[in-house]
Structure 1
Amino acid sequence: MKNKKTIIRADEMGFCLGVRRAIGTLENAVRSNDSPVYTLGPIIHNPRVISDFASRGVKSVESPEDVPADCRVIIRAHGIPPLTQEALNKRGSLVMDGTCPKVIASQKTVRKYASLGYHTVIVGDPDHGEIQGLAGYANHPIVISSPEEAGRLTLDGPVMVISQTTIKQDEYDRVCAVLREKCKPLKIVESICSATSKRQEALIHLCSRVDACLIIGGKGSANTQRLFYTAQETGIPCWHIQDASEIPSEASLYDTIGLSAGASTPDSIIAEVEQRLRSM
């Protein structure tokens, strides 16, 4: 007879406010059925969600030039640079903005300090859509991702530093500690989304209560990857999976299993994972 498993969910997990807003914007566009719908890049970093919308006619493209004139285009939660917005307007695209409010606030902050003559230092993944969008609001922005890179900077004049909204607070703090010694004056902007910090804290608490943990989310999701790294640091067995089909057989060996999920993971996938675990 199989032992009954205890499945415990993290107190904070799954879709965040910004993702729900972007998904809602796209959902409204699809339902209205007025004209073809495009997204600039994948709407979120989740293969299932992207596939579902694709089956309903939504096309994901990488450039404004790929959007036919007079079509609707959804801006994902990460936002876009001003030049991309201008290119869409020139093509006559109907732009529906799904940018996360937290990201919009960061964009306004970067523009403000750039106009005041500050050097702009952005901390995060240089290939991430949010970082590329933020960089477009500054003059000659510098993107770094580690204290080592911060240590190599040589900047004269005032500096403003801001981070990707989804990085870990301790990552940002370590970079800022280096910049405090090198840059004067230095304006440090606290831009990490509170949902990101709460997810990290909830995960650490969860890992103290379970035998093993599954982190659910797309392999391309930066915040999901950081959750996985945090779980690994606690020392318990953990796995990063995209859906129930990727649950490892080893998970069946543990009686108490924790679940956490990235900000791009829908509730339906979390429920499927939990159901599959209970049947193992």
Structure 2
Amino acid sequence: MAGVFSAQRLAGKTVLVTGASGGIGAATAILFARAGASLILTARRQAQLDEVKRAAEQANKEGATGKGGKVVTLTLDMQDRKQIKGLLDRIPEELREVDVLVNNAGLVYGREQVGDIDEDEIDTMINTNVVGLISLTQIFVKEFKKRNRGHVINLGSIAGIEPYAGGSIYCATKHAVHAFNGSLLRELVGWNIRVTCIAPGMVETNFSITRFRGDEDAAKKVYEGITPLSANDIAEEIVWAASRPEHVNIADVLVFPSAQASAIINHRGPQNGGK
């Protein structure tokens, strides 16, 4: 029964999800759709966005609330500040009053250590994970303040809490996201605007394939001997945080698979107390 009540709180809401063409973003979109929300889905890849749109529209029809929302897709490169600034004008007028912004878009390249990191990849990670996220959030915080309501949900990472060797730039970007989230939370305490950071540990999506530049075998080795989180596991946390009563703000969530305890501490093999 509690789950139904949670879904009912999201029916009729409008949610914008960045990086919605796959992984956590796509799973999040589908779960919001199932709860009856309308969706604005953004990413660089239109073909993949179209697939997620179809899945979200089907989830809307099958949702527990019986109140299906609208789903629109907009291509958006989070490295392009001009595109970000023009996004609001591209949103259909009936969906411009966004209730929840999910800053999901982000990526990582490589495991090279400092001194050997490609400068173009540094720019891509920083501009996507930090600069783009901040630029988009500034736009919607202004809109939220006009209505004195809204919710910003930022995708952090254990990498933003605990740095590790071979992840200096990605860790730096996620530390920036966590700091930005904390400052934003404090700045908006006098407004009816919620701020949440969801920080996953090991999640098996295309994230590692991107990190290893398309090498699927290398990506699979990251999760050998362990059951990692799935995109849907994190999507459930995002939607759960958004579905809390208006006076309840889930400020920070750190989510690990049961066999992980930190950025570098995990157990591979049967979990039997080490016996």
**Is the TM-score greater than 0.5?**
no
- For the pair shown, the structure with the greater C-alpha radius of gyration is 1
Quick one: higher RCO (CA 8 Å, sep 6+), 1 or 2? 1
TM-score by length of 1: 0.29
Higher strand share: 1
